[in-house]
Amino acid sequence: GCGICVHKCPFNAITIVNLPEELEEGCVHRYGVNAFVLYRLPVVKDGMVVGILGPNGTGKTTAVKILAGQLLPNLCGDNEDWDNVIRAFRGNELQNYFEKLKNRQIKPVVKPQYVDLIPKAVKGKVRDLLKKADEVGKFDDVVRELELENVLDRDIKHLSGGELQRVAIAAAILRDAHFYFFDEPSSYLDIKQRLKVARIIRHLADSGKAVLTVEHDLAVLDYLSDVIHVVYGKPGAYGIFSQPKGTRNGINEFLRGYLKDENVRFRPQEIRFTKSSERKSQEGEILVEYPRLVKDYGGFRLEAEPGALYMGEVVSIVGPNGIGKTTFVKMLAGVEKPTEGEVDWELKVSYKPQYIKVDYEGTVYDLLSKINAGKLLNSFYKTELLNPLGVPDLYDKQVNELSGGELQRVAITAALIRDADLYLLDEPSAYLDVEQRLAVSRAIRHLMEKEGKTALVVEHDVLMIDYISDRLMVFEGEPGKHGKALPPTGMREGMNRFLAGVGITFRRDPDTGRPRANKENSVKDREQKEIGEYYYVA
């Protein structure tokens, strides 16, 4: 039996029909009549990293504003007094926290979600910004750890997304606060940078600070957190923070779509990871053999070794930022002309760029129906792609008014409904929450399998890579200077090659099969490095 009645849960629109009565006393904030309602809050504890896992629009930022003292919760009534909040949380670990917050004994620091907006608010050189933030006297250490030496004298408005992210994290860490909140610290970063940032945030907690983080890359969340809360509910309507759960168990319950303590099923299907060796890669026919390709930009040179792509397979492209992944994909898409070699095939290619330009006047439905009206009505595409990505809910919106995550889902959909032989998707998970990433992964896999088409996907999220890939294409070299694209290989060989370069080992979770990063220097980490099995031991 299901304690809370949950009816048909499309992949990312979690719908719970009846709220249990006991929740009402956990009602923390209601923005207004018929407006969003937040139930319960996450724990905050000195010396701990508390992770939050859940879809966008379920109250994560609202909870953080409350914990940072920026929003006085109305307790779903007309409360205007912190004393009532303290009373409402009596016996809860948050009682003490709110007492301190009321007495201004808590100083919070927030690393915001949208780092792209920072240049609008902050002007000047990186060095000056970080010097000003430095209340703990660790400027040199933090700059070195986050590899910011080369951008110190640059103006903030000239930074790339990944550089802005690392500057924002550095600025937060340099503050002397009690409570640190990191909202999506991995956006724009490559895997090596993601795990490095995770370690730096962990050190904050190890030094006694209270840390809260929202993270949609599950491998990073897993590596980073001591406990997690799953947030469930109906995006835009209400959100409920689960009890704190052990990180491993919490992520597994999330993947299963069922929260045990709460007795709530919020997704009909569970997400399972198969060992990639079980996949039948290279059993299909060859779609195309591409030649050696070189692109020389003057400052940067990419050399791609020749390779072959098969029908019905998904190949993931992995490698650090600035190594030429986008450049390679653009050459296959016919957007960039190679300096050496030629892409002269008869293939139809559909391409989703990394940076999505919006110059379309009209609604989402207009745009998509112009591309392929038939597929919008096709029941396979409806169940496998459109509904899981929540696209029909966006049909009436103007394309140029979409948020980052909405635009990403529309762009992925636009690419996947085109009739093509080869689908090129450059960083499809950017701006997506965890549930949407899983939905996109399933859609890509199912469409390629069913239609016998081929997809090349540039991605940094290890769980997504593991879930979707038949094979892997590894990029190596010196970021910003020169890159080399190796031919596609099997997952094991590719992951070993790639992770050896990054210096990180992964194991598989026995229950869900999902990849988990080993802690540096743990027994498993050392054993696996010794035998050269960076990804998993059979």
Q: What number of helices (H) and strands (E) belong to the chain?
A: 18, 24
User: Which residue stretch of 112-120, 229-237, 321-329, 480-488 sits at the interface with Mg ion (rule: CB under 5 A)?
Assistant: 321-329
Please list, in sequence order, all residues whose beta carbon lies within 8 angstroms of the beta carbon of residue 251, skipping any fewer than 6 positions away: 53, 218, 221, 222, 228, 512, 514
Q: Give me the amino acid identity at 394.
A: L
31 binds, among Mg ion, ligand ADP, none (CB under 5 to 8 A by kind): ligand ADP
User: C-beta of 426: minimal distance to Mg ion in Å?
Assistant: 6
Q: Which two tokens stand for residue 400?
A: 């140029």
Q: Which two tokens stand for residue 209?
A: 């600070």
**Alpha-carbon distance values, 423 to 376, 419, 428, 454, 463 (Å):** 18, 9, 12, 6, 20
Q: Which CB atom, from 327 or from 512, has the smaller least distance to ligand ADP?
A: 327
Q: Which CB atom, from 79 or from 354, has the smaller least distance to Mg ion?
A: 354
Reference 310, options 422, 446, 467, 445; nearest CA is 422
Q: Is 372 in the site for Mg ion (CB under 5 A)?
A: no
Q: Is 354 in the site for Mg ion (CB under 5 A)?
A: yes
Q: Which CB atom, from 36 or from 467, has the smaller least distance to ligand ADP?
A: 36
User: C-beta of 5: minimal distance to ligand ADP in Å?
Assistant: 22
Task: Give the count of alpha carbons within 13 A of 363, CB side only.
Answer: 10
User: Which residue stretch of 75-83, 150-158, 223-231, 324-332 sits at the interface with Mg ion (rule: CB under 5 A)?
Assistant: 324-332
300 binds, among ligand ADP, Mg ion, none (CB under 5 to 8 A by kind): ligand ADP
User: C-beta of 154: minimal distance to Mg ion in Å?
Assistant: 20
Q: Which CB atom, from 59 or from 338, has the smaller least distance to Mg ion?
A: 338
**Alpha-carbon distance values, 375 to 353, 357, 363, 370, 437 (Å):** 21, 23, 17, 11, 22
Reference 232, options 265, 269, 271; nearest CA is 265
If one counts every other C-beta atom within 10 angstroms of the C-beta of residue 17, the result is: 10
Plot region of 331 (φ>0 → left; ψ -120 to 50 → alpha; else → beta): alpha
User: Which residue stretch of 69-77, 133-141, 350-358, 374-382 sits at the interface with Mg ion (rule: CB under 5 A)?
Assistant: 350-358
437 binds, among Mg ion, ligand ADP, none (CB under 5 to 8 A by kind): none
**Alpha-carbon distance values, 89 to 40, 75, 84, 211 (Å):** 10, 11, 9, 20
Question: What is the total count of residues that contact Mg ion (CB under 5 A)?
Answer: 3
Rounded to whole angstroms, the Cα distance separating 63 from 50 reads 13
Q: Which CB atom, from 324 or from 388, has the smaller least distance to ligand ADP?
A: 324
User: C-beta of 534: minimal distance to Mg ion in Å?
Assistant: 23
Q: Which CB atom, from 325 or from 516, has the smaller least distance to ligand ADP?
A: 325
User: C-beta of 66: minimal distance to ligand ADP in Å?
Assistant: 10
Q: Is 429 in the site for Mg ion (CB under 5 A)?
A: no
User: Which residue stretch of 208-216, 263-271, 298-306, 353-361 sits at the interface with Mg ion (rule: CB under 5 A)?
Assistant: 353-361
Q: Which CB atom, from 61 or from 95, has the smaller least distance to ligand ADP?
A: 61
61 binds, among ligand ADP, Mg ion, none (CB under 5 to 8 A by kind): ligand ADP
The single residue among 165, 281, 326, 496 that binds Mg ion, judged by CB under 5 A, is 326
User: C-beta of 21: minimal distance to ligand ADP in Å?
Assistant: 23
Q: Which CB atom, from 367 or from 412, has the smaller least distance to ligand ADP?
A: 412
Rounded to whole angstroms, the Cα distance separating 383 from 364 reads 18
Helices 404-417 + 434-451 axis angle, to 10: 0
User: C-beta of 143: minimal distance to ligand ADP in Å?
Assistant: 21
- Give me the phi and psi of 213, to 5 degrees please: -145, 140
User: C-beta of 354: minimal distance to ligand ADP in Å?
Assistant: 7
Rounded to whole angstroms, the Cα distance separating 18 from 240 reads 13
537 binds, among ligand ADP, Mg ion, none (CB under 5 to 8 A by kind): none
If one counts every other C-beta atom within 10 angstroms of the C-beta of residue 298, the result is: 5
Convert 161-172 to b/e letters by CB count within 10 Å (16 or more is b): bbbbbbbbbbbb
Q: Which residues bind ligand ADP (CB under 6 A)?
A: 31, 35-36, 56-62, 236, 297, 299-300, 319, 321-327, 480
Q: Which CB atom, from 88 or from 472, has the smaller least distance to Mg ion?
A: 472
57 binds, among Mg ion, ligand ADP, none (CB under 5 to 8 A by kind): ligand ADP
Asked if residue 409 lies in contact with residue 389, where contact means CB atoms within 8 angstroms, the answer is: yes
Going by their DSSP bridges, the two strands 307-310 and 286-290 should be labelled as: antiparallel
Rounded to whole angstroms, the Cα distance separating 49 from 28 reads 22
Q: Which two tokens stand for residue 173?
A: 């860490």
User: Which residue stretch of 50-58, 118-126, 291-299, 348-356 sits at the interface with Mg ion (rule: CB under 5 A)?
Assistant: 348-356
188 binds, among ligand ADP, Mg ion, none (CB under 5 to 8 A by kind): none
Q: Which CB atom, from 399 or from 485, has the smaller least distance to ligand ADP?
A: 485
Rounded to whole angstroms, the Cα distance separating 61 from 245 reads 20
59 binds, among Mg ion, ligand ADP, none (CB under 5 to 8 A by kind): ligand ADP
User: C-beta of 479: minimal distance to Mg ion in Å?
Assistant: 11
User: C-beta of 276: minimal distance to Mg ion in Å?
Assistant: 23
Q: Which CB atom, from 354 or from 398, has the smaller least distance to ligand ADP?
A: 354
Q: Which two tokens stand for residue 502?
A: 């990054």
372 binds, among ligand ADP, Mg ion, none (CB under 5 to 8 A by kind): none
Binding site for Mg ion (CB under 5 A): 325-326, 354
